[in-house]
Amino acid sequence: MTDQTNRFLEIAAPGIANLKPYVPGKPISELERELGITDSVKLASNENPLGCSENAKAAMQGELSDSARYPDGGGFELSKALAAKHGVDAGCITLGNGSNDVLDMIARVFLSPGYESLFSQHAFAVYPISSQAVGVTLKIAPAVNYGHDLEAMLNMVGEKTRVVWVANPNNPTGTWLNGEELENFIAAIPQNVIVVVDEAYIEYVDEEDYPDASQWLSKYPNLIVTRTFSKAYGLASLRVGYGLSHPDIADLLNRVRQPFNVNSMAQAAALAALEDQDFIQSSIDMNRAGMEQLVTGFAEMGLSYIPSVGNFVTVDVGRPVEEVGQALLREGCIGRPVANYGLPNHLRITVGLEEENARFLSAMKKVLDK
């Protein structure tokens, strides 16, 4: 339904008219239903191809018998474990139904019409969606080499700016910022402007000067760091993530947080997953090898790609990506065209298992005639 034909648009809140729904990766079941096939490969949503920790599965099972009960609305055990992990007080933690939920709480608490939300070109789609939903003005800084241009962003901070969003590394580009440049940026932002550093892929990053921004929380009270269990921890379906911030910010976020936003299975699984760092290490090792396999394959096909420190890589297919994406679907391969991120010729591919990567590369060779 287009906006012109939606009879309730006139009474919708400002900002909703220009909002486009988030486009998720195509589910495997949907593609297989459409094509009548059974062996498709989905490398479209930056999920962990190894699944999740066995301990997390056992913890989920353990919660089944209590399904009739509401979860612990305060997430006591999980918050306590996260606080210990980060060396902060439990009052600094805000639990989310995925970290997107925390991003949305930030928008609802700090953004309103007449003010500005600032992020980079090619930045993660939830920043504009959550911002637009609350009717704030969007400010989009041009990217540099597909990544955040912090100087350009800083120059765009004005009196009306309330929230600045930085993804480190960024999705869908995989680009990253080092500790020095990011901290200088945060230090230069006025204290009455919230800086969000989204670290959804931090576990995968293996760069010496890549920063864990949570170490700066006590220095910059206007900083919010977000983390998720959806990526390296392999718990995307359970929806659990969290924010780390000054307790005064967490207090405000918790005022808009829906009661029981993180279900019992998610809380138990996240808690168990945190303790299984061996699983995280195997995920990192597999990712490193798979990334090498993918970029070597791209180079052999003469395709350029955006160097990525995450569990995905975005490749220039040299022609409109929508048709390439469709052709790959017919080969049973689901990637993520990122034209909606201002990258009309780029396809984002999640690092999969060795055989999945190989399958994807050969489908690309066929479709692109390389």
Residues that bind ligand PLP (CB under 6 A): 46, 98-100, 124, 167, 171, 198, 200, 228, 230-231, 236, 241
Closest to ligand PLP by CB, 47 or 356: 47
CB of 100 to ligand PLP, least distance (A): 3
Closest to ligand PLP by CB, 131 or 332: 131
3-state secondary structure of 35: helix
Closest to ligand PLP by CB, 231 or 359: 231
Tell me which residue of 172, 216, 166, 176 sits closest to 196, measured CA to CA: 166
| Region for 59 from its dihedrals, namely left if φ exceeds 0, alpha if ψ lies in -120 to 50, beta otherwise | alpha
CB of 362 to ligand PLP, least distance (A): 27
Buried/exposed code over 109-120 (b: 16+ C-beta within 10 A; e: otherwise):
bbbeeebbbbbb
Of all residues in the shown chain, the one whose CB is closest to ligand PLP is: 98
DSSP letter, residue 147? B
Q: Give the Cα separation of 122 and 257 in Å (integer).
A: 28
C-beta neighbour count of 43 within 10 angstroms: 29
Residue type, 131: S
DSSP letter, residue 171? T
CB of 122 to ligand PLP, least distance (A): 11
Closest to ligand PLP by CB, 130 or 230: 230
Closest to ligand PLP by CB, 99 or 264: 99
Residue type, 60: M
Angle in degrees, CA 345, 350, 351, rounded to 5: 125
CB of 255 to ligand PLP, least distance (A): 20
Alpha carbons within 13 A on the beta-carbon side of 30: 7
CB of 226 to ligand PLP, least distance (A): 7
CB of 369 to ligand PLP, least distance (A): 31
Q: Give the Cα separation of 252 and 357 in Å (integer).
A: 43
Closest to ligand PLP by CB, 241 or 352: 241
